[in-house]
Amino acid sequence: MATLRHQQISVLTSSTVAFTICFAVWMIFAVIGVPIKAQLQLNETQFGLLASMPVLSGALVRLPLGLWGDRFGGRLVFFVLMLSTVLPIYLISHATEYWQFLAIGLFVGLAGGSFSVGIAYCARWFERKRQGFAMGLFGAGNSGAALTKLVAPAIVAGWGWQMVPTVYAVTMLVTAVAFWIFSYDDPSHRVASHVTLRDQLRTLKDPRVWKYCQYYSIVFGGYVALALWMTKYYVTEYGFSLQKAAMLAAAFSLPGGVLRAFGGWFSDRFGAHKVTWWVLWVSWICLFLLSYPQTHLTIQTVDGPKSFDIGLNPWMFTVLMFTVGVAFAFGKASVFKYVADEFPHDIGAVSGIVGLIGGLGGFLLPILFGAMVDLTGVRSSCFMLLYGVTWVSLIWMYWTEVRTTDVLHSAATKSR
């Protein structure tokens, strides 16, 4: 019989690997969407819808999956969920029409719902003082977005974009089987049989839940949206090849996933409140700088007209995106530290609704990115939008938390 320590490590490791593959699948159109866009001659808004379609279904199923994970056990729900995506992933390579990609994308997107199952499944295996780190480490599976940007372009270059879904389908099947072999189940982690669905959903009336949804719509919804958008942004804004664009885009996606474990540790150590506050400020400043469009400015001087070019070169842009990725990684962990601390008996339900709203942000934002580019012709308008949404979160956090808490010197207090 395996010891508790062995079970904890095995559950956390197998779940993190499984979530990494699920997230890589969830982001598949971030890379293959670029050649599909050219093949179908899509505009920016249509591309945004294509890239974000899996995010829509992945967001919508997070709440029911979180509830089912609480009731039937995270191991079983996680395993069945992964198996259900294998065939849709494979069918992407056989799609030829725009509507077919959209329809199949909805079924592929179920992989994104794995988060609300896995986060509660892992958290319940650890004591409260280590839950932040455990959830952060599991959430590092967001680095699957970077995995797609590193692996998929090479497959596209060698065998064409149609090979990517085939490789991903086989990988998902192997991962599902490995997860079942190496994970464990503990019936005591499930909700009591007398607890009804209404009881599970009652917590969602708490206004704190919706505040955390707002935070997560930035740190996760913004992360997903930019992970989907950045490869094409580098191609269109700086004229890079698909392979180079994806590599640079990974400078945002990789820290945005891997460093989530450190965000969990910091949240355990300093409190979710303090970490989230500084995450929002760093994000706000970086997004302000990223919002400035490439500008050619001519001014009249005493010596005649003089012209200046103002804008971010690719390397400064990448440094700022890396910083935003780090901030979002810490923020994703700190939001769920809030959830674990304040709703220890309803992690599945609360994480489900928070994840759902965050996922919907990841769905809507790429569409809005494309629409804003089509309307304004300014590619950096996507960062202007995120800047505004981050400002809303800062104001909300100030009025509900910061006014009664010294975020510089004291421990975080409970939000109101």
Cα–Cα dist 211/125, whole Å: 27
| Tens of pLDDT, residues 316-342 | 999 999 999 999 989 988 888 888 788
Residue 410 has pLDDT above 70, yes or no: no
In a domain, residue 280? The reply is: yes
In a domain, residue 120? The reply is: yes
In a domain, residue 413? The reply is: no
pLDDT value of residue 271: 85
For the chain, the domain total comes to 1
Query: Got the DSSP string for 327-375?
Result: HHHHHHHHHHHHHHHH-TT-HHHHHHHHHHHHHHHHHHHHHHHHHHHHH
Between residues 37 and 347, the one the model is more confident about: 37
State residue 344 phi and psi, 5-degree precision.
-65, -25
pLDDT value of residue 195: 61
In a domain, residue 379? The reply is: yes
- State percent of the chain over pLDDT 90: 31
Residue 253 has pLDDT above 50, yes or no: yes
Q: Tell me, what CATH number does 63's domain have?
A: 1.20.1250.20
Residue 15 has pLDDT above 90, yes or no: yes
Domain that holds residue 194: 4-404
In a domain, residue 410? The reply is: no
**Residue 59 pLDDT class (50, 70, 90 cuts):** confident
In a domain, residue 411? The reply is: no
Cα–Cα dist 244/234, whole Å: 9
In a domain, residue 361? The reply is: yes
In a domain, residue 254? The reply is: yes
